[in-house]
Every structure is written in structure tokens, then in C-alpha cells.
Amino acid sequence: MGWVSIPDPPPAAEDLRGLARSLRQLLEFGTQALLEDAEPAEVALRISGHLGCELTAIVLVAERFPKWEHVNVQRGVDAYLRTQRDDPEWFGTPGSGRHPHEDILSLISSPASQFVMFRGPRAHLIRGGDAVSGGRGAASYGTAAVGPEENTEVVTFGLVAAAAPDGAPVVIGIRDESQFGAPVCNLEILAADREAAAATRDEIGRLMRVHDVFRGQVLSFTESEHHGNELVSFLPRPAITAQDIVLPGGVLDSIEQHIIGIAEWSQDLLSAGQHLKRGLLLHGPPGTGKTHTVRYLTARLAESTVILLTGRSIRFIDAAAALARRLQPSMVVLEDVDLVATDRDYTPDGNPLLFSLLDAMDGIGADADVTFVLTTNRADILESALADRPGRVDLAIEIPRPDAGCRERLFRLYIRDLAVDADLEPVVAGTEGVTASFVKEMIRRTVLASLRAGERPPVLRDAHFTAVLAEMNGERQSLTRSLLGVDAGEDAGAGADPDGRPVCHRRFR
């Protein structure tokens, strides 16, 4: 043991910093040398063992999918594996989660010692086959929806040994990536030669389409909070029948003929050289039944895939149109198009979103069995754009406020089998100008009025109707009335006429 004498005068701060820099460089060189000598990770040995080639000779064929397609990637791989073996054994690498940006090949090509465990600000290099090194680990799993109420397990990082269609050994990998940008799902095939990997990828791609979970579903594209990416979610198919809709005579028939008639005769129409693609515009005041009609069409087209885009999610029109083309027969519903008609924020060329929408409609081949339904209560905003680009919308239907005949049908529809002790005629006459949703709400309030009066089961009486109509037309309801589609800006004075019949003295939007 010797004494270290402190030089006098002490070294300058600059010299000390230089010494520290040199020592650090030395450490980095040493680490690098260790990595170069290191053994391949156990997982790499397993893969190269299965493929029967050196690690450096492995070829990677990869395909990236948006995250919402992950479930289809899993389905495709599962279907592929089913053709080969009963019980596929997925495996992973314990360090996988710490290498989010590498592809599987570069990850497994890392020497065992490069599986670094981070603790706090310092990285500790751990060698050997212990739990945090490059040994084999379990695959990681997550869940993905396959229907409105149903989920399935998906591999978020994992590898499985398999064979290419021609029997050559391959390793199939699924790897989620969500660090930066929109989350993606990578399908990665490792093989000793490119053809085997590519053929496996193609076959999985074919099986993905055969087992596509989106086929025949009602889907909506919604903006995710994470990364602002598009996400597809499943909705239950509504069970609405023609009896649930009240529209002026002939309106529902024209809509059905256009949408469902063409679907039913699609093969014959194609044979006769006719196009199938169709566009329907439903316009009219809020609360008159545009969405209700769309829900009815969704119920009627029970075999079709329906893709719903509302408001801002209309910016996903290109992905939605591609999905519609892939999953035909299909219907793309673009709700409340006016909300984004002039929105330039989300279009690459800075054109209004409506133009992108019309382009996407145009981009689908005429013989595709794809229906576009646009709804709006501002047909005036769309008018010029539609007129400038004809052929996208081939039927425009106005869904008006109900006339007296329709209002009577609406009252009967929403009264259903409730007990009524009232003359409906004055109620119908007194609700001129209201919307269907107003009538629906009126019935609910009338039932409530009866319940409040102690009637069980409720009985809908004249007095309840009169009181409710007065209430709904009252000043304090102005906001509610505007939400229900009645113009709040007009005279809100209402009540009963000299005979006690409810009246409303106002113009409605």
C-alpha cells in the first residue's frame, strides 16, 4: 500500500475534467469490446437453430399495420398456425420491452450482454443467462375487440416457430410499437431465404382478409386520446324496423329502393353493366330522423359492413373508404358533414375536408357495392361543393318536420301501449312545427306528469298533455327547445287556446 501524495499546487480543474473524459472514453471502448466478444442471446440461438442458418444470414420480411388492424394480424397468424400445428408456442425476450424501435432481427442479433437493465440514471450491464439478460422469455399479450361486447387476446410482443408454405422453417413475430407517432403493429417473418419469408407473409395476409374481424360489423372511427391516431370500435347493430320510423309517404320507400334495392339486385345490375356505388344525402332540421333513418338502414343491411364517421372523425375518410372497399358490401355513413365541410386543418393539400371526402367517394370503383350516406342539417353549405363535383351523391332526400299526419303517427308510435285518456287531435294540432324528437320527449314528460300525479300505471290525460306542452314551450325551456330542433329565437308564448287546447304560436326552424 503506498501513499498518494496530493500534488502541490493541486491540478487545475480543466486537467481534472480532461482526466475524467479520458477515463469515460476508456470505459466505453472496454464496453464495446465486451459486446463484440459476447455470446448471442439464447433467443437468437433458438431462432437460428430453428431456421438452420447463422444469425447473420437471417432475412427479415416485415409489414406494418395501423394498431387497429392488430386483431386481424393476430387472426391471420392464428389461422396460418392452425394449418401447421395444434399448439403454437409463443416466446419472447425479456429485454424486448426496452428496445421498442428495433425490428425483431436487430433485437435478437444483439449479444446477450446487450440486454441492459436500467436502474435509475445508470445502466448496469448484466452478462449471462439470468432473468434480465438475453435469455428466452414469455411473449407479451394484450386484448383487442372482436365485436361490440367481445375481446380476444393478442400477442403484443412474441415469436413463434413455424414453416413457410413450402415447408421451409420460418419464425413469425408480432410486435407492437407505440413509442412515437401513431401506434403500429408489426408483422415480422424471419427465414433463411427471402422467398420463404415473403410467401409466409403473403399467406398470412390472405388469411387476414378471410378472417377479417371487421367484416359485417358496425364500426366507428373515433379519435383516440393517445397520439391522435384513428381507432376503430365496434357498435351494436340497431334493431329498428320500418314501423319505428315516421316519414312522409314515399320518402322511406325512395331511400330503401336506392340503398337496399341496389344491394338486393347487385349481381344482376353488374351483369347488366350497371354501377353499384351510390351516394345518398339526407338533409333536414335537427331531430327529424336523419340518424334514425341511417340506423334503420344499418339494421336492414344486416350482412353489410357499416362504417360510421361523425364530425371530426370524417378526416379518417381515406382509411374508412379503403376499409369499405375491402369489406363490401358496405355502407359508409358521414354524419353531420356540415360540421367539417370547410375544415382545412386535416387535409394534406389544405383543401376543405369536404373535398377530400368527395375525392374518397370518387376513388372507389363504380362497381364496388359501397354506399355513402351523408347527413346534414345545412344542405346549403354542401350545395355548391356537390354541384361542382356531380356524381358523388345520386339521391338527395329532405327529411322535413312532420306534418299533422306524421305527428299523429309519431304520437301513436311513442305512446305505444300506454293507457291514454285524451283527445290527441288538439295535441297534434298544437304541435305544428315541432320535430319528431320533440314529440318523443313530449310523451316521456307526459308519462312523468302522470306518474307525479300518483297514477300507476301512468295514464296520458288531456291535462298532462296541456301542461307539458305549455312547459316545453315556456321561456325557460328555450335552450332545450333549440336542442330539440325548435327555434328558440321565436316567440315562446304558448299555452292553451280559449277551448283549453294546447297551442304554440311560433315559427320553427
Q: Does 186 bind Mg ion (CB under 5 A)?
A: no
- Which CB sits closer to ligand ATP, 400 or 495? 400
Q: Does 245 bind ligand ATP (CB under 6 A)?
A: yes
Is the bond into 9 cis (omega within 30 degrees of 0)?
Answer: yes
Q: Which is nearer to ligand ATP, 219 or 337 (CB)?
A: 337
Distance CA 433, CA 28 (A): 80
Which parts of 392-421 interact with ligand ATP (CB under 6 A)? 410
Nearer residue to ligand ATP within complex by CB, 205 or 286: 286
> Least separation, in Å, of the C-beta of 289 and ligand ATP?
3
Examine residue 440 and tell whether it contacts ligand ATP (CB under 6 A). yes
Sequence-ordered alpha helix ranges (H) in 327-435? 353-363, 379-388, 404-415, 424-429
d(CA 479, CA 194): 66
Residue 508 CB, shortest distance to ligand ATP, in Å, is 14
User: CB of 479: closest distance to Mg ion in angstroms?
Assistant: 19
Q: How far is the CB of 234 from ligand ATP (least distance, A)?
A: 20
- Write out the binding residues for ligand ATP, residues 200-229 only, by CB under 6 A: none
509 binds ligand ATP (CB under 6 A): no
* 158 lines the binding site for ligand ATP (CB under 6 A): no
Burial of residue 73 (CB within 10 Å: 0-12, 13-18, 19+) is buried
d(CA 307, CA 328): 11
- Angle, CA 260 vertex, CA 255 and CA 264 arms, to 5°: 150
> Which of Mg ion, ligand ATP, none does 289 bind, CB closer than 5 to 8 A by kind?
ligand ATP
State which residue, 212 or 441, has the beta carbon closest to ligand ATP.
441
Does 291 help bind Mg ion (rule: CB under 5 A)?
A: yes
DSSP letter for each residue of 8-77 = SSPPPHHHHHHHHHHHHHHHHHHHHHHHHHPPBPHHHHHHHHHHTS-GGG-EEEEEEEEGGGHHHHHHHH
**Cell match 355513402: residue?**
372
Closer residue to ligand ATP, CB minimum distance, 133 or 288:
288
How many binding residues for Mg ion (CB under 5 A)? 2
Q: Which one, of 190, 198, 210, lies nearest residue 165 by Cα?
A: 198
- The C-alpha cell that represents 224 in the structure block: 383516440
Distance of CA 402 to the CA centre of its chain: 34
How far apart CA 370 and CA 373 sit, in angstroms, is 10
Q: Are strands 151-163 and 140-145 parallel, antiparallel or unpaired?
A: antiparallel
Kindly tell me which of 196 and 436 has the beta carbon lying closer to ligand ATP.
436
* Shortest spacing between CB 340 and ligand ATP, in angstroms: 14
Q: Which does 377 bind (CB under 5 to 8 A by kind): Mg ion, ligand ATP, none?
A: ligand ATP
Question: Interior CA angle at 413 toward 412 and 419, to 5°?
Answer: 55
DSSP helix/strand/coil, 177:
strand
SS3 for 140?
strand
| Contact call for residue 50 and ligand ATP (CB under 6 A) | no
Q: Is 435 in the site for Mg ion (CB under 5 A)?
A: no
Among 174, 354, 436, 467, binds ligand ATP (CB under 6 A): 436
508 near 487, Cβ under 8 Å? yes
Interface positions, 249-308, toward ligand ATP (CB under 6 A): 286-292
Q: Which partner from the list ligand ATP, Mg ion, none does 246 bind, CB cut-off 5 to 8 Å by kind?
A: ligand ATP
CA dist., res. 492 & res. 483, Å (int): 15
User: Contact between 443 and ligand ATP (CB under 6 A)?
Assistant: no
CB of 248 to ligand ATP, least distance (A): 9
Nearest-approach distance from CB 308 to Mg ion, in angstroms = 11
Residue 298 binding Mg ion, by CB under 5 A: no
Does 377 sit near Mg ion (CB under 5 A)?
A: no
What is the nearest approach in angstroms of Mg ion to the Cβ of residue 362? 25
- 175 SS3 class: strand
* Site membership for Mg ion, residue 293 (CB under 5 A): no
Q: How many Cβ atoms from other residues are within 10 Å of residue 127's Cβ?
A: 15
Taking the complex as a whole, the smallest distance from the CB of residue 245 to ligand ATP amounts, in Å, to 5
Tell me, by CB under 6 A, how many residues bind ligand ATP: 16
**Interface residue list for ligand ATP (CB under 6 A):** 245-247, 286-292, 336, 377, 410, 436-437, 440
**Interface residue list for Mg ion (CB under 5 A):** 290-291
